[in-house]
Amino acid sequence: MLFRSLQLDPIIPMLVDDLLIRYGIFLATCLIMLRMVFFRISPNREVYFGLFMFGNGAFFITYLLHSVEMSMGFAFGLFAVFSMLRYRTETLNVRDMTYLFITIVLSLMCSVSEIGFIALAVITLGLVVLAAIAETQLFASTSVQRKMLYDRVDKIHPSVRTELIEELRERTGFNIEKIVVGKIDFIMGSVQLTLICTD
């Protein structure tokens, strides 16, 4: 008798459908970005796991708080505080922090945005495509900085810079594009060089 008297709120199926569609959009775009873009270039499973789970947590807590009057600015502030508390002792480079921010953006957009599902999917997918393009040579050439201690101070004069680059290319095998001269030690006869190398 008790079960017959209990009736499900007709809004619950709508909320479940809304949640599943929003989470499906978030999960698809998040996995494409993290697995096919981020993890392919820097296969760090620990950071990959942290970004994925942080994004999922941000999505669900924001969706559950969506019934409360909460602005997008408050949501960003909330998860900015969470991210600082969690990652303040971790050494994350700029790239990892950027992906953390994009993951939070995807989760917040998918959970609280008021636009249609198709528009939401297009915008989030566009953000992922933008991240993928930014990781390619089309956006900027991939360069790596390598520091070394060079044993000949007489070769650092700007007039022989081309000769120095050619010599270091032969000795190191790196595709050196530019050299930045650092600390010079005339007593030891050495100089610190920063080599700007491209793939």
Q: Are 26 and 127 in contact (CB under 8 A)?
A: no
Q: What is the pLDDT along the chain (199 residues), one digit of tens a residue?
A: 434 444 445 555 656 778 899 999 999 999 999 999 998 888 888 889 989 998 998 898 888 876 555 555 666 666 666 555 555 555 677 888 889 889 989 998 998 888 899 999 999 999 999 999 988 877 766 677 788 888 888 788 888 888 888 888 888 888 888 888 888 888 888 888 888 887 6
- What is the pLDDT at residue 78? 62
Residues 129 and 148 in one domain: no
The verdict on 36 and 66 lying in the same domain is: yes
Residue numbers of the domain that contains 84: 8-134
Q: Note whether 158 and 71 are same-domain residues.
A: no
Choose the final residue of a domain: 86, 110, 134. 134
In terms of domains, do 79 and 113 share one?
A: yes
Q: What is the DSSP letter of 15?
A: H
* 22 Cβ contact partners less than 8 Å away, ≥ 6 residues apart: 59, 63, 110, 111, 117, 120
Same domain, residue pair 38 and 120: yes
Give me the pLDDT at residue 88, please.
Answer: 52
In a domain, 3, yes or no: no
- Residue 91 DSSP label: -
Same domain? For 61 and 108 the reply is yes
User: 23: number of CA atoms within 13 Å, CB side?
Assistant: 15
CB 195 within 8 A of CB 174: yes
Cβ-based neighbour number of residue 9 at 10 Å: 8
Output the pLDDT for position 49.
92
Q: Is residue 59 a part of any domain in this protein?
A: yes
Does 2 fall in a domain? Answer: no
65 inside domain = yes
149 and 176 in a single domain? The answer is: yes
CA–CA separation, 4 and 72 (whole Å): 41
> Same structural domain for residues 20 and 109?
yes
Domain boundary among 134, 161, 184: 134
